[in-house]
Amino acid sequence: MENRNQTTLPLSPSEMTIQPIGIIHTPFYGKEEAPVQGAFQPEAVGMVEVFPEFSAALKDIEAFTHLYLIYRFDRAGEIELVRAPFLDDEPHGIFATRHPCRPNGLGLSVVRLLSREVNVLRVAGIDVLDATPLIDIKPYIPRFDSYPDAGEGWLTDKESRSKPSGRE
Amino acid sequence: MENRNQTTLPLSPSEMTIQPIGIIHTPFYGKEEAPVQGAFQPEAVGMVEVFPEFSAALKDIEAFTHLYLIYRFDRAGEIELVRAPFLDDEPHGIFATRHPCRPNGLGLSVVRLLSREVNVLRVAGIDVLDATPLIDIKPYIPRFDSYPDAGEGWLTDKESRSKPSGRE
């Protein structure tokens, strides 16, 4: 995360501030190593550390098998509204992709919950860089969230591949 | 949204600012009317208005059938880390629920995309209050996001019901 000193910034009427509730620890230290999507590397294990002051908010989370993590892409490059994503060479609108360089810089992943130890969740299928700031955790509930027949848009027939080099 | 005047607030090193990219228009004007989850009212139609300056970021979005909307619960009440959610009378940790009164106040819904007209998306299965600030749109991709066999935690056997009255 940007390590700036305490400062004051003007807030426009519609701006809102958010604050990390924890940190996601993963084995991915550089952008080249992180998988394009967690679903492509379901065995990748990470530790979701929730700050102790939010530990109580995890009560009963261990009864879920899958969770949503919302986090901040804190090392993303410049925002471009239309760009070629990792899985395609054609440019698409950023809201039609999951690319990190997006307005507000929030990421979303579904992970498998393996275990919980107090304020630390062990999860699988994680695809973020180590030390990514965690913004929210929500339970994944198949009745609300599972749409196996949804279309895949431009991702139809796109297979996992390495991130094209030299491209953010 | 809170309509405060231009102001300056101190930002701690870990705070981040986010800004709406649009507004979600729905037929739900009061908390009592909004469905507990969009999946319980799949026919509810809303209009997702993306601000014109972000319109280009929608390129190719119409090829997807389902989208994630990330939005701000701008009329949520006080945050409690453990509380009884709408679908249960037992208290659960807020990160084990989808309840609006949560740290950072972000909501997440999967909606069906019906049509797009320039910067306005017509969607179904929407469950938010009218005029909710939109923070991000991401394509729903079943290979990454659909887990029909995921567990339901405390929601197992919980059916849709009216929101308990007098409870946030």
Inside any domain, residue B88: yes
Inside any domain, residue B71: yes
- CA dist B82 and A133 (Å) reads 22
Q: Which residue of B has its CA nearest to A138?
A: B95
Confidence class for position B39, pLDDT limits 50, 70, 90: low
Inside any domain, residue A35: yes
HEC per residue, B9-35: EEECCCCEEECCCEEEECCCCCCCCCC
Number of domains comprising chain A = 1
For B117-161, how does the pLDDT look when each residue is reduced to its tens digit (9 = 90+)? 999 999 999 989 999 999 999 999 999 999 999 999 998 888 776
- CA dist B94 and A58 (Å) reads 7
CATH at B40? 2.40.30.70
B133 touches A: beta carbon within 8 Å: yes
- Chain A residues touching residue B60 (CB < 8 angstroms): 92-93, 96, 153-154
Inside any domain, residue B42: yes
- CA dist A134 and A23 (Å) reads 5
Inside any domain, residue B79: yes
Model pLDDT, residue A85 = 83
Q: Is the pLDDT of residue B103 over 80?
A: yes
| CA of residue B98 relative to chain centroid, distance | 9
Return the higher-pLDDT residue of A97 and B12. A97
DSSP secondary structure string for all residues of A61-128: GGG-SEEEEEEE-TT-----SEE--TT-SS-EEGGGS--SSSGGGEEEEEEEEEEEETTEEEEES--S
Inside any domain, residue A29: yes
Name the residue range of residue A32's domain: 22-143
Pick A93's closest partner by Cβ from B11, B56, B92.
B56
For A75-110, how does the pLDDT look when each residue is reduced to its tens digit (9 = 90+)? 988 999 999 888 888 999 999 999 999 999 999 999
Inside any domain, residue B77: yes
Model pLDDT, residue B3 = 39
- CA dist B85 and B69 (Å) reads 21
B72 touches A: beta carbon within 8 Å: yes
Inside any domain, residue B166: no
